[in-house]
Amino acid sequence: MNKNSTIYIAGHKGMVGSAIWRTLTELGYTNLIGASRKEVDLRKQSVVRDFIRKIKPDVIIDAAAKVGGILANNSFPYEFLMENLQIQNNLIDAAHRLGVDKFIFLGSSCIYPKLAPQPLKEEYLLTGPLEPTNEWYAIAKITGVKACEALRNEYDKDFVSLMPTNLYGTHDNFDLNSSHVLPAMIRKFHEAKLNNHAVVILWGSGTPLREFLFVDDMAAAVVFALENKLPDSLYNVGSGIDLTIRELALTIQRIIGHEGDIIWDDTKPDGTPRKLMDVSKMHNLGWKHKVDLETGIQLTYDWFLDHTDIIKEIKL
15 is known to lie in a ligand binding site:
yes
Whole-model pTM? 0.93
Query: pLDDT value at position 270?
Result: 86
What pLDDT band is residue 311 in, cutting at 50, 70 and 90?
low
CATH topology of domain 7-311: Rossmann fold (3.40.50)
CB-CB contact of 206 with 264 (8 Å): yes
Write out pLDDT tens, residues 151-201.
Answer: 999 999 999 999 999 999 999 989 887 778 999 999 999 999 999 999 999
Find the mean pLDDT for residues 277-294: 98
What pLDDT band is residue 73 in, cutting at 50, 70 and 90?
confident
Write out pLDDT tens, residues 100-134.
Answer: 999 999 999 999 998 899 999 999 999 999 988 88
Q: Tell me: pLDDT of 71 over 80.
A: no
187 is known to lie in a ligand binding site:
no
Q: Tell me: pLDDT of 314 over 60.
A: no
165 is known to lie in a ligand binding site:
yes
Q: Tell me: pLDDT of 313 over 60.
A: no
Q: Where are the domains of the chain?
A: 7-311
Find the mean pLDDT for residues 233-260: 98
Query: pLDDT value at position 315?
Result: 43
213 is known to lie in a ligand binding site:
no
- Catalytic residue numbers read 137
